[in-house]
Amino acid sequence: MKFFFPDSQDQIDPSFDFLTEERDPCRVRQRDDRYAHEVLAPAPFDGLLVSKTIVDGTASATTGKYTSAQRQRLYSEGAAAFFRLHNGAEPLVIMGDCGAFSYHAQPKPPYTVNEVIDFYEGCEFDYGISVDHLIFEYEPLIPRDDSRAAEWVRRQQLTLDLAAEFRATCQARDVEFTPVGVAQGWSPASYARAVAELQMIGYSRIALGGMVPLKTPDILNCLRAVDEVRDRRTQLHLLGISRYDDVRSFAGHGVTSFDSTSPFQQSFKDERNNYHTATRKYMAVRVPQVGGNTKLKKRIEAGEIDQGQAVKRERAALDLLRRYDRDEVDVDPVLEALSDYSQLWNGKDDRTEQYRSTLTARPWRECPCSICRAVGIEVVLFRGSERNKRRGFHNLYVFEQQLRKQLGRDDT
């Protein structure tokens, strides 16, 4: 079972100073910052998934997350060199897709088949996923000819037609990457139909899309239906699914790979489950920068809060957190300082007990990952991208360890 991590240009700056909040003035991001696979050993994933919408954008959103210089460098160097895929303990593979979620509201994908193949070939990917169009709804009992399903049927057929064109064009152009067909559906039967047609087109690797909102029993129902038509040699990829508790069940139905950003994004997007361990998840301790918190900035600008007083409370909280990590103070003064600062920007939302749980457990001390060993308590502070991304990298490390455990072997 292979885990692919979707790229969104998430890197950390090794020169970042947590005490001064400063960086090396000579830092060049693409050259000096580090990807997760460069700072964690072994790498917390088997490969990267790179979307065309992230790199090139679309007609309605002309730019992606890459600058013009980054795009040029990716195309000129190739993905292996750009992402430094061989700088970690193990070489990684790379898969490309179109980024269908970014254009789901449009009537059709914004790219031609040849444009997508140019992207995959230009970046020298190992795998390339055919052009697809998302179907968000899931209605397992609805008849295929029901009027409500007209748009679903149209999108599925469009995806299948594009998959046929994609494979034929890949053969004609003699591409070096492995083509992967996409199955979109809205029910177990519709997914099975799509897989059957993709196999007839000639695909032996098929990605199942649109399943992110589905619960695990629904995914398994779809996989069971696909089993009825799937050639035993056909390998399945689950797009956007990261549920390590279920990987054994998924593997039993031909799933050999999946991708997700969930472990990483929970570090800064989840309200509670920010720092992961093998046994539970903890809330990160919010200590926003005075100049970086919108609510606090507005109150300062309105004259409701003195900026100097806010900075004083911020520094007091940070100082006590670090002293706590050095065993110089107990947890209660830390919690009091956090509460004092929180009142300025967080109103009545009291997180004291959640913070107490995180701080008293000190999970960062038990973690062997290089992130936690290097930065200590800073990894559980919800404060700016350098800490939040490091916590996200840590979560990827924990996810990879749990995946290995579920599979019952050392090599996933």
Is residue 56 annotated as a catalytic residue, yes or no? Answer: no
Is residue 126 annotated as a catalytic residue, yes or no? Answer: no
Q: Are 359 and 346 in contact (CB under 8 A)?
A: no
Dist CA 142 CA 155 (whole Å): 16
DSSP string, 88-103: SSS--EEEEE--GGGG
3-state secondary structure of 326: coil
Q: Which listed residue (56, 126, 132, 259) is catalytic? A: 259
Quickly tell me which residue has 């060049």 as its tokens: 28
Nearest residue to 18 via CA among 380, 395, 351: 380
Tokens standing for 94? 């790379």
Residue 334: CB atoms within 10 Å: 23
Q: Are 25 and 385 in contact (CB under 8 A)?
A: no
Residue 236: CB atoms within 10 Å: 22
Dist CA 199 CA 23 (whole Å): 52
Q: Determine the Cα angle at 213 with ends 212 and 219, to 5°.
A: 70
**Pairing of β 285-286 and β 381-382:** parallel
Dist CA 315 CA 362 (whole Å): 21
Q: Which listed residue (97, 126, 132, 325) is catalytic? A: 97
Nearest residue to 18 via CA among 395, 394, 390: 390
Quickly tell me which residue has 């748009």 as its tokens: 151
Nearest residue to 206 via CA among 221, 196, 219: 196
**Helix, strand, coil shares of the chain as percentages rounded to 5?**
50, 10, 40
CB neighbour list of residue 308: distance below 8 Å, 6 or more residues apart: none
Supply the DSSP symbol for 315: H
CB neighbour list of residue 288: distance below 8 Å, 6 or more residues apart: 296, 314, 345, 382, 383
Q: CA 394: distance to chain centroid?
A: 13
Tokens standing for 343? 């009142």
84: left (phi over 0), alpha (psi -120 to 50) or beta: left
- Annotated active-site positions, please? 97, 259
